[in-house]
């Protein structure tokens, strides 16, 4: 991709002495204003457990599959990876593959790569959990076979601080538009593009159950504030409720509270969380991780929150459409039914 595909030359004034002004004619991640911002100076919405959009499965965290997520404006894809056995490929499973298996990592990445092919001015991040603690080289094959490798960005220096990241325009011009992070056992000497997540960013409390969403740095633990202030950061804004099944404590999304949790304003809302984090750390969070992104005080309210965090506006008419894959999706009533069924089963077993 050439610089000319990004820049239009316009005549600023109708005089022979005036010089043509370069103006950006292409949006980056939907907004021309974002093109000259470093990735570390942009806020993006992350789909928590992006692949887990299985209708009527209590372990799901999203309604729509990944193509819809990307079309609607999701720019961060987070999920667990599992290695079911020595002969299997990496799979996308929630807690265990018996509970929810969304298929192979390679298949999912192939879908993402196809979308990137069709959207050359978009930058995304993929954040993976290495639940079985497999070697980082295990991830090479699915990324290679999916055709995603040419898109992967490798930072100029490890342990990058805020100033070390490129602008969105630079990533787009290089066609290195995907940042990939792994939570455990990343080794950039072996796999340079597979970044150690907590060397590059920190997170607020994981799997939160506190509706106040305190904006404290939990992972990595014991990191000095001075270091945290010079790193990107993620707010985990996916409220959970703890239930007990067969003696095990399990966290499930707080389905019935989604309208408020994903709202633009109000106590416990995503908007309030961003405000609190901005006040605490002096800048908005880079990554806003949410469950069921299409729910809120209006459909897609999370995207208005992120637009405002970026100092921009959001067109409410953009979100959220029918599944492009034709897969039947959960509506809000279905989510609530799953919640009540799940908690009723929990109560039944507690009484046994």
Q: Which of 136, 347, 123 is nearest to 243 (CA)?
A: 347
Would you call 94 a catalytic residue per the annotation? yes
Q: Which of 129, 141, 170, 142 is nearest to 36 (CA)?
A: 170
User: Do the bridges between strand 96-104 and strand 91-94 make them parallel or antiparallel, or are there none, so unpaired?
Assistant: antiparallel
Q: 56, 82, 91, 94: which is the annotated catalytic residue?
A: 94
Sign, CA dihedral 22-28-30-36, equals: negative
Report in angstroms the alpha-carbon separations of 179 from 42, 104, 127, 165: 14, 20, 8, 11
Report in angstroms the alpha-carbon separations of 93 from 50, 77, 82: 11, 14, 6
For residues 218 and 204, the answer to whether their CB atoms sit within 8 Å is: yes
Would you call 91 a catalytic residue per the annotation? no
Q: Where are the beta strands (DSSP E) in the chain?
A: 7-10, 21-24, 44-47, 76-81, 91-94, 96-104, 124-130, 178-182, 194-196, 201-203, 232-236, 240-245, 248-253, 287-290
Q: 48, 82, 91, 237: which is the annotated catalytic residue?
A: 48
What does the alpha-carbon distance between residue 190 and residue 196 come to, in Å, rounded to a whole number?
12
Encoding tokens for residue 63? 């309604």
Report in angstroms the alpha-carbon separations of 294 from 49, 204, 258, 319, 328: 14, 22, 10, 7, 15
Residues designated catalytic:
48, 94
């Amino acid at each position: 991709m050439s610089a000319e595909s990004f820049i239009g030359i316009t005549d600023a004034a109708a005089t022979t002495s005036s010089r043509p002004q370069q103006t950006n004619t292409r949006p980056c991640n939907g907004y021309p204003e974002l093109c000259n911002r470093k990735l570390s100076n942009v806020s993006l919405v992350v789909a928590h457990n992006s692949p887990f959009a299985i209708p009527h499965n209590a372990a799901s965290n999203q309604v729509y599959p990944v193509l819809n997520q990307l079309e609607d404006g999701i720019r961060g894809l987070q999920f667990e990876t599992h290695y079911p056995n020595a002969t299997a490929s990496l799979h996308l499973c929630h807690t265990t593959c018996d509970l929810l298996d969304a298929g192979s990592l390679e298949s999912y990445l192939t879908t993402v790569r196809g979308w990137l092919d069709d959207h050359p001015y978009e930058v995304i991040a993929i954040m993976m959990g290495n639940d079985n603690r497999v070697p980082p080289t295990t991830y090479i094959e699915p990324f290679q076979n999916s055709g995603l490798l040419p898109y992967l960005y490798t930072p100029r220096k490890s342990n990058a601080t805020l100033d070390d990241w490129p602008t969105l325009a630079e990533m787009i011009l290089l066609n290195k538009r995907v940042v990939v992070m792994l939570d455990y056992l990343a080794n950039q000497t072996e796999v340079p593009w597979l970044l150690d997540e907590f060397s590059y960013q920190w997170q607020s409390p994981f799997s939160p159950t506190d509706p106040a969403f305190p904006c404290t740095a939990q992972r990595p633990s014991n990191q000095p504030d001075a270091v945290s202030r010079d790193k990107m950061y993620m707010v985990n804004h996916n409220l959970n409720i703890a239930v007990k099944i067969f003696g095990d404590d399990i966290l499930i999304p707080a389905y019935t509270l989604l309208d408020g949790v994903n709202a633009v304003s109000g106590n416990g809302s995503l908007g309030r969380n961003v405000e609190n984090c901005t006040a605490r750390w002096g800048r908005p969070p880079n990554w806003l991780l949410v469950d069921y992104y299409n729910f809120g005080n209006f459909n897609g309210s999370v995207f208005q929150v992120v637009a405002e965090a970026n100092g921009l506006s959001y067109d409410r008419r953009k979100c959220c459409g029918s599944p492009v894959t034709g897969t039947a999706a959960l509506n809000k009533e279905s989510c609530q039914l799953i919640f009540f069924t799940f908690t009723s089963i929990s109560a039944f077993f507690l009484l046994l």
